[in-house]
Chain A
Amino acid sequence: MPDTVYFFGTCLIDTLFPRAGLAAMQLLRRAGVRVIFPQGQTCCGQPAYNSGYRDEARAVARAQLDAFPADLPVVVPSASCAGMLRVQYPLLFADTADAARAEAFAGRVVELADFLVRVLDVRLIDLGPPIRVAVHNSCSARRELGVADATMDLLGRLARVELVEPERAAECCGFGGAFSVKQPEISAAMAGDKARAILATGAAVLVGQDCGCLMNLGGTLARQGGGPLVRHLAEFIWERTHRDD
């Protein structure tokens, strides 16, 4: 078991949902791991990369390679960004001077739930009341990284949490980064259907591992009024297992 890890906070968490990032670091620290947060980190570069701007994405990605120099695991509380770092970086840097560096970096990247379950095998003591939780596993978690099982496993360690998957759980929520801006109508139709399926579960909280999806679904649910609370996986777990003394 590694005693020290890097933490990659992601730009969405950094600017919009810092509590999710802090909760993730606290979970790691409580499990006995020293967590390093390099101040040189910014964004994984995915927005530009998926929009076709590879040179612009590469410049940003190179800054991340610089920011995590030591040979330590890089824990990422977002399957989408972890997928970018782990799967896409080697492709982005193929045939460049940074190819070997990107390969080595990619090999160190671990998604948060995967790390907590597979590497740390954390035990969670559920302090909250019985609750029904709808889970939204992102497309990156399901397909690009294959860590959706880890999310379910991790949440399953909370004794009083009943997990439900909404209808058509494997279907995309319609965020897709720039897709939600470039194709707003299709994106809204996808998010709307997803929101209805989540409401139908009767869950009190919607939990996911990607703030992009949560922002999309949370924003849609909020516009419809009512609906479940929306929480990042780390923040939800931290809230249920942490007592302020």
Chain B
Amino acid sequence: MSFITRGFSGRGRERDDRLPPGQTLVGDFPVLSAGPTPDIDTADWAFTIRTESGVDHTWTWDEFMALPIEDVTTDIHCVTHWSKLGTGWRGVALDTLFEGVDTDYGYTMAHSYGGYTTNVPLEDLLDGKAWVAFEFDGEPLDPEHGGPARLLVPHLYFWKSAKWVRGLTMMEEDEPGFWEQNGYHLRGDPWKEERYW
């Protein structure tokens, strides 16, 4: 790093190894989304995985809550440079949801209530890497933060953790979702600073 801004010393002197490059620790939980917050009743909620053969695997809220539930403690990293460490979530692992799903495709598009989409390679969702989360810090997930349920893919920038998630469609090839079409990176690894195209 060769570049110095005169007079700047910074305040966040403690470097934490858990912080990816370009990130700043926050204590609160900032909200970033592209439009109004949708209001979704769990009675109307369903989560669907749609495969290439047109088969839908759908869970209503009650069916979803009857699945094995996991507690997850993890760091999260937003593309707008904030990170939170050691956040606590409850949710259902994507491994559980994909147990009975037969697909040869390697990519998914996550769809949300409200119309948001984001693309995630299947391998970034499996092997204990991702959940559909419905609790944060022991409380039902706030609508602002994606409640009743959001995707949680903590090893990628947080725009991949689609709020108000309603399902995944399998894709043969990777295609950009909403923010990816609007300038964000196709994958979004915080450790590689894959922020923008």
A binds B: no
